[in-house]
Structures are given as structure tokens and as C-alpha cells.
């Protein structure tokens, strides 16, 4: 694994640059997007590899397969309420008015530019690509490999009506075969009306890049979904910043926040949320139910695989936040959110008798 990651330096030299002009955007200058509050310093690839693989936790991966409940789409269709399900990592399938929206679909084995090297998933998706229903929309938060997966996008072109992406990503989608008229690019605070659903690109504090030469040439966003009485927030990736409160003040309160909780590291502390910050961001957003995402799928930092969930539980309890922790594949609705309070991962902690 260590050798494979080192080999990625060669492939990372291949840029996906758009070289577009977004000078009208407040957070764009000299061909690059930036974070107004905290522009993180670049972390070298070798520093990241050293942290993840040479100074890692004793438990970077689970010792046995984690539970996944295969989805029956009929379970989502059985409810007249909006329903949603975590498929893996940050991929979430949302059903509104018999139509499906898919966030950050990532179904490949590796979060990498190549199929034979890079971070390998240790928990399979709760639904296969072939079993996905027709999609009314795919929504992308940023262009990192664990959120924007080329093979997944290509496989879903014929079954997807429209795509909503941050500024700069449209050319890449077109390059992969997505018709230009099917892609809507949005900058921070820009809104799009998708039938009866309002889709809003909201700020996040992160960065972008798929190579060593295209850093921050495309934007990173979080997403707000407003449909009838439902208000949902999808964080994508972000460090903690005042934007969470701004979003909450403008579009909250939110019924559900799907919040990043994993892959944090002191080396990149300004672009990923630590568990305490995730809970605070949820409170800033004026969220009701907090659903953690971005964990128990890939090893992307030096913490134990279970640490994000364990610390999240402690923080949520201390702040009386309603933490919702479904297994991958369990279908949630607003009326059933309070049923997902079983902390399933505890049966798989080191030293715990096997749950299988």
C-alpha cells in the first residue's frame, strides 16, 4: 500500500485544468479559488503518507467486515415521506416526490486516479451501480477522487437527468461524456430550481485538485436542498469556519445535516472537521438531526477507523444533539430518524467479541 501511494506521484502530474475565467466570483483570483478565512498551507504528499501509514493508529482498518444492509429500492418507495440512505463514504441517495438525487457518488474500489493503487475501500457500497434507480440529479461537492469518481460518473450517464457541480467542474464532466446541457455549474450562494426543489451551492472551507498542477482551479461547495417542508444540508468536505453560521442564518433551520466526520488530521486541520467541530457546525447550521458521513469506508488519515464515530457520540451527547447513526443501507425518513440510535460500530471495536 505504501509503495502504491508513492507511485501515485507519477500519475498526479496529469492535470485536469479548466483554465476558465471566474473573475466575477468573490473568492477567485489569478486563476485560483481560495478560502477567505483560512487558506491552508499545502501538505506534501510524502508528509501525508508518513502521517497516514507510518504514524497511524494501531487500528487503521477494522479486523472484520463492517455491516452493510443491502438496499431494496422498494423500501424507499414504500414511504410517502422524503427518504434517504447512506451508500458509503459520502455517497447519499435522497428520494423526493418519487425522484432520486445522489450526492457525491463513489462506487469504485479505490479513491485514486488508477485502479491498482491508492486508498482502497474496506466497506462495499450498500447498493450496486446496476441496482441504482433512474436519477433525477447527481450533486457533486468538489473534485477530489473520493467524491468525484470518473468510472461511477461514466456508468451513470444514461440514467441521470441532470448534474449540479461547483464552478470549473463542468469541462471535466463533458470530457467524460456528460452532455453539456445536462450540467449546471454553481458558485457560492447561487441557487438553481430543479422542478419543485431548490438546490443551493453554499460555501465550504476546503480545496480542490486531481493532480499536482491543478490545485484550486475548481471550486468546492456544500449543498442546501429545500423541498416542500424539508430542509437538508450536505457538507461535502470542509474545515470549521463562520460560513456554517451564515448558511444556518440564511437557509436554516435544517431538518437534517449530513456532516463530514472522518479523515481529519492536524496536518490539514483547516480543511476537515474534527468531531467537536462537526457538532459545533451542526449547531451553527441550526440542525435538528445530525447524520455523520465520510467515514468507515476508506483509510484517509492517521486516526483509528472507529475514532470519528466514538468521539462524535461523546460530543453529541454533551451538547444534547440528536445523533443519527444508521448502518450503510438503512433507509431513513424524518419520522424514523429517532429510531437510528443504535451505535452499531461498538460491536466491532477492538477486543469486542465478533458480531458476525
Tell me the per-residue pLDDT of 315-326, one tens digit each, with 9 for 90 and over.
Answer: 999 999 999 999
pLDDT bin (cut points 50, 70, 90) of residue 13 is very low
Annotate 285-302 with b (16+ C-beta within 10 A) or e (fewer). Answer: bbbbbbbbbbbbbbbbbb
Name the residue among 172, 207, 283, 288 with its Cα closest to residue 35.
Answer: 207
Q: How far apart are CA 264 and CA 330, in angstroms?
A: 25
For residue range 114-154, list pLDDT tens digits in order: 888 889 999 999 999 999 999 999 999 999 999 999 999 99
For residue range 290-311, list pLDDT tens digits in order: 999 999 999 999 999 999 999 9
Helix (H) or strand (E) holding 225: strand 222-227
Q: Is residue 20 included in any domain, yes or no? A: no
Rounded to whole angstroms, what are the CA distances from 50 to 243, 256, 302, 333? 32, 36, 9, 41
For residue range 147-182, list pLDDT tens digits in order: 999 999 999 999 999 999 999 999 999 999 999 999
Q: Is residue 28 included in any domain, yes or no? A: no
Please check the confidence at residue 72 and state whether its pLDDT lies above 90. Answer: no
Determine the pLDDT at residue 16: 45
Question: Angle at Cα 275 formed by Cα 297 and Cα 90, nearest 5°?
Answer: 30
β-pair partners for 232: 225, 256
Number of domains in the chain: 1
Region 22-37 average pLDDT: 91
For residue range 54-65, list pLDDT tens digits in order: 567 899 999 999
Q: Is residue 29 included in any domain, yes or no? A: no
Evaluate the omega torsion of the peptide bond into residue 253 and state whether it is cis, within 30 degrees of 0.
yes
The phi, psi pair for 260, rounded to 5°, reads: -55, 135
Instruction: Tally Cβ neighbours within 10 Å of residue 266.
Output: 9
pLDDT bin (cut points 50, 70, 90) of residue 3 is very low
Q: How far apart are CA 94 and CA 333, in angstroms?
A: 10
Determine the pLDDT at residue 263: 95
Q: How far apart are CA 353 and CA 296, in angstroms?
A: 19
Q: Write out the residue range of the structural domain in which residue 319 sits.
A: 2-14+43-348
Region 344-355 average pLDDT: 85
Q: Is residue 171 included in any domain, yes or no? A: yes
The phi, psi pair for 16, rounded to 5°, reads: -120, 50
Q: Is residue 31 included in any domain, yes or no? A: no
The phi, psi pair for 219, rounded to 5°, reads: -85, 160
Q: Is 153 helix (H, G, I), strand (E, B) or coil?
A: helix
Determine the pLDDT at residue 20: 63
Q: Is residue 25 included in any domain, yes or no? A: no
Helix (H) or strand (E) holding 314: helix 307-318
Please check the confidence at residue 6 and state whether its pLDDT lies above 50. Answer: no
β-pair partners for 165: 185
Instruction: Give the domain CATH number at 72.
Output: 3.60.15.10
Q: Is residue 312 included in any domain, yes or no? A: yes
Q: Is residue 318 included in any domain, yes or no? A: yes
Amino acid at each position: 500500500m505504501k509503495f502504491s501511494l508513492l507511485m501515485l506521484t507519477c500519475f498526479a502530474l496529469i492535470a485536469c485544468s479548466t483554465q476558465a475565467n471566474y473573475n466575477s466570483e468573490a473568492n477567485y483570483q489569478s486563476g485560483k479559488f481560495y478560502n477567505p478565512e483560512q487558506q491552508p498551507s499545502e501538505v506534501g504528499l510524502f508528509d501525508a503518507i508518513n502521517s497516514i501509514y507510518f504514524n497511524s493508529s494501531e487500528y487503521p482498518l477494522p479486523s472484520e467486515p463492517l455491516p452493510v444492509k443491502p438496499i431494496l429500492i422498494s423500501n424507499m418507495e414504500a414511504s410517502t415521506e422524503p427518504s434517504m440512505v447512506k451508500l458509503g463514504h459520502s455517497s447519499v441517495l435522497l428520494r423526493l416526490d418519487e425522484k432520486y438525487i445522489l450526492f457525491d457518488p463513489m462506487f469504485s474500489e479505490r479513491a485514486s486516479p488508477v485502479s491498482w493503487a491508492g486508498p482502497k475501500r474496506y466497506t462495499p457500497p450498500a447498493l450496486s451501480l446496476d441496482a441504482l434507480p433512474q436519477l433525477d440529479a447527481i450533486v457533486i461537492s468538489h473534485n477530489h477522487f473520493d467524491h468525484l469518481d470518473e468510472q461511477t460518473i461514466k456508468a451513470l450517464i444514461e440514467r441521470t437527468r441532470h448534474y449540479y457541480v461547483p464552478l470549473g467542474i463542468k469541462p471535466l464532466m463533458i470530457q467524460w461524456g456528460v452532455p453539456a446541457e445536462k450540467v449546471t455549474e454553481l458558485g457560492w450562494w447561487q441557487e438553481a430550481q430543479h422542478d419543485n426543489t431548490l438546490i443551493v451551492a453554499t460555501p465550504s472551507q476546503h480545496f480542490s485538485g486531481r493532480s499536482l498542477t491543478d490545485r484550486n482551479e475548481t471550486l468546492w461547495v456544500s449543498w442546501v436542498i429545500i423541498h416542500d417542508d424539508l430542509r437538508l444540508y450536505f457538507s461535502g468536505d470542509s474545515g470549521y469556519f463562520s460560513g456554517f453560521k451564515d448558511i444556518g442564518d440564511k437557509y436554516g433551520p435544517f431538518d437534517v445535516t449530513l456532516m463530514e466526520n472522518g479523515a481529519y488530521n492536524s496536518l490539514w486541520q483547516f480543511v476537515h472537521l474534527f468531531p467537536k467541530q462537526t457538532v459545533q457546525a451542526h449547531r451553527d447550521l441550526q440542525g435538528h438531526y445530525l447524520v455523520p458521513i465520510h467515514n468507515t469506508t476508506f483509510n484517509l488519515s492517521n486516526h483509528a477507523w472507529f475514532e470519528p464515530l466514538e468521539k462524535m457520540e461523546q460530543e453529541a451527547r454533551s451538547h444534547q444533539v440528536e445523533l443519527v447513526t444508521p448502518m450503510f443501507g438503512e433507509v431513513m425518513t424524518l419520522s424514523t430518524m429517532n429510531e437510528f440510535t443504535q451505535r452499531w460500530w461498538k460491536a466491532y471495536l477492538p477486543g469486542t467479541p465478533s458480531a458476525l
